[in-house]
Each structure stands twice: as C-alpha cells, then as structure tokens.
Amino acid sequence: MTKFSERAQGFPWPFAEGETDFRYSVNVEPARVRRTTATGGWGEHLVDLGGSDYTQLMQQRREVIAAHPERRRVLPGMEMACWDLLLYYLRDMAAAYPESMHLGEEGKNFHWRNDLLGTDQAFTFGQEESLPTDPLTFLASEIPDDLVLLTERDGELFFDAGLVTFAASWSVSFNVGMSMTEIHGPVPRMTAEGMTRRAEIFMRQLQPGQAYRRLNWSTSKHRGERLDTSLETYREWESEIPQLVEEEDWGSLQLRNELQHFVRLPMTGTVAFAIRTYILPLAEIREIPEWRDQLASILRELPEDLATYKGFGDFREEIVDYLAQPADSMG
C-alpha cells in the first residue's frame, strides 16, 4: 500500500534531485529508460498508457477528434510519413505491452489488436481505405500522446503534420507549416539564447529509429480534469484561472507536465514529436515533501519573464506560500 495517488506515482517529475533553480536548456536524453521518483517512477516505455485512466483518456481524445476535425492537419506529401509513424508506434506498443497489444505482420498486411480499448483492425500498409480513418487519426485514437511530424527543408525543420487535442494554449491550425524558429517565437529567451538552433541540430542528428525525450513544465491554464486547453477552445476555459485566483483556491492549481518524445522515423526520415500531458494539483504536490519543497524553491527563484510565460507571474507569492504551509495545519 502506498499513500500516493495513481497519477502522482506515475507523474514524471520534471526536476532533477537537488535542483533548486530552473532555466531552459536542450534537456534531452535517450527514451525508454525508467526513472524513479519520490512517489514511484516513469519512463520505461515510449508510450505511457497511464493507469486505470487510459480508457477514459482515450475516450476524451476521441471526442475531441470527432468534434474538432481541424485538430488534424496534414500538409500534402506527408501521407507516407503518417504510415511510417503508425507502424513505428504500433510495433513499439506490441513489444512494450505484449499482454494487451498485438501486431500481426505478413508482408504489407497487418493486424492490430488492443485488448484494453477493444480495437481489432486488419489493414494494408499504405492503403488508407483499409483503415476506418486516416493513419494519423487511427494512431491518435490508440495512444494518449499528441502527435506532430516535422520535415527538413533547406536545413530547417518544419511542422508539416499533426494531430493535437491537448495543446497548452497553442493550436495545430495556427502552427502548421511553420519552422521551429517561428513556432518558438513566443518563448522568452529561447531563440535569443541559441536554444532553438541547438534543439534543431539535435533533432536533425537523430538517427533512424532512435528515440529521445525531454520534459517541459508549466502551470495549467485551467482548473478541472480536462486536458483540452487548445487555443480553439479558449472561450471554454479562459475564466477558470481568474476565478481560481479570486477564490484563492491554490490547491486546485495544477502543475502541467509534458513528456515529449522525439523519434526519427525510419522510412521517411521525418521527425516525430509526441507530447504526453500530465497534470497534478498543488494540493497533491503539497503532500509530498520532496516535491513540495523543490517546487516552492524553483517557483520562488524563476525570473519574471519565465514565470509570466508559464502562467503564474501574477500569483507567484501566493502559490509559494501555499506550498510552504504544511498540509495538516489546514485541516
């Protein structure tokens, strides 16, 4: 028995042991390596199904896809890259979760079964009519990650396809076709400090089939369980944080963490960028002494421009104070 919730146990804590201040860096490392944390661990597999919430998460994802077809954008010429992505991920999942995921292969004919979701689908590689949807939508309905594909043109990487339902206040329709430099324009310091360039060099040097990962954190732009905080639904969530601030309900503010994977797809050389989103309310973090103290110290120290960009510039002191109060004194 453990005292931590399932989502706290699997939460990929974004800070290294002993880290007390935070700056952006090209913080990439090889994927598929398990890390242990104060509550449990994460990172063994490329795709994290999560725990008992997997089916519910995929339900949420499928609803967003059905209601918002504009969350999927595929520029012309990216069809083969989408198949490359589908096959890479299905093979990976069948190897990672042999008890529930199965991929039969015979030449270009495949049979995918996902026992957890009840998917049972035969298809022929490269033939869209053999799947109920296009390959990108098919994959996005099986895994909780948002998916972006980048191709190289004249030495730069461009966002040429994606299916994104849980974006942190950005949008596929807005970013599709953009270069890495254009996409990262709003991020303070990033391009000016040469990080965009280094990130790009890193991605261009990935070898076929290689997978790397990085973590990215911020505070969430909403209060509830929903993960869909895309720009498209801005109207639906814009008032949630102002209201939380008014009620001084700091325990409901959520740390929003993205586990991002980078894979060089073997047949097309496309770079796949997959984003798995996790949220954990400060109320839960406050129960975990190592995390509470570290987060308080990092939030306190973070320069103003980064705090504003990450979303807590206006109430930084309040949340630091909240984390500093022992949970039991609050009753």
Partner 1 sequence: MTDQRRLRVTEVRSLCPEIRQITLEPLEGTALMGFQPGSHLILHAGEHRNAYSLTGDGIMPSRYTVSVLKRNDDGGSAWLHQHLAPGSEITAEGPVSMFAPVHNQQHALLVAGGIGITPVLSHASALAALQKSAEVIYAYKPHRAAHVDQLREICHSAGFRLTEVTSAGNCRKALRDRMSDQPVGSHAYVCGPMSMLESFLEIGAAAGWPEYRLHLERFEAPELDPGEEFALRVSGSPEDLRVPVGVSILETLESAGYSVPNMCRQGVCGQCQISVRSAGSLEHRDYVLTEEEKAAGGSLMVCVSRGTDVEVAL
User: CA 261 to CA 238: how far, in whole Å?
Assistant: 28
Q: Which does 108 bind (CB under 5 to 8 A by kind): ligand HEM, partner 1, none?
A: partner 1
DSSP, residue by residue, 121-181: EEEETT-GGGSSS-HHHHHHTTSS-EEEEEEEETTEEEEEEEE-SS-BS--HHHHTT-BHH
Secondary structure element (H or E) that encloses residue 215, with its range = strand 211-219
Q: Could you tell me the maximum CA-CA distance found in the chain, to the nearest angstrom?
A: 64
The number of residues in the chain equals 331
Query: Scanning residues 280 to 299, which ones bind partner 1 (CB under 8 A)?
Result: none
Query: Scanning residues 200 to 259, which ones bind ligand HEM (CB under 6 A)?
Result: 202, 214, 216, 218
Q: Closest residue to ligand HEM, Cβ-based?
A: 199
Closer Cβ to ligand HEM, 143 or 183, answer by number = 183
Contact between 212 and partner 1 per CB under 8 A: no
Residue 12's nearest CA partner among 47, 49, 37, 44 is 37
Contact between 267 and partner 1 per CB under 8 A: yes
CB 113 within 8 A of CB 97: no
CB of 41 to ligand HEM, least distance (A): 23
Query: Scanning residues 106 to 165, which ones bind partner 1 (CB under 8 A)?
Result: 107-108, 125-126, 151-155
Torsion angle of the four alpha carbons 164, 57, 263, 185, in this order, in degrees rounded to the nearest 10: 40
Contact between 208 and partner 1 per CB under 8 A: yes
CB 140 within 8 A of CB 129: no
Rg (CA), the chain: 20
214 among known catalytic residues? yes
The catalytic position among 61, 72, 213, 214 is 214
Residues 45, 184, 197, 221: which binds ligand HEM (CB under 6 A)? 184
CB of 271 to partner 1, least distance (A): 11
- Binding span for partner 1 by CB under 8 A among 103-111, 176-184, 298-306, 320-328: 103-111
Give the binding site for ligand HEM (CB under 6 A). 24, 26, 28, 148, 150, 159, 170, 175, 183-184, 186-187, 190, 199, 202, 214, 216, 218, 273, 309-310
The residues assigned a catalytic role are 214
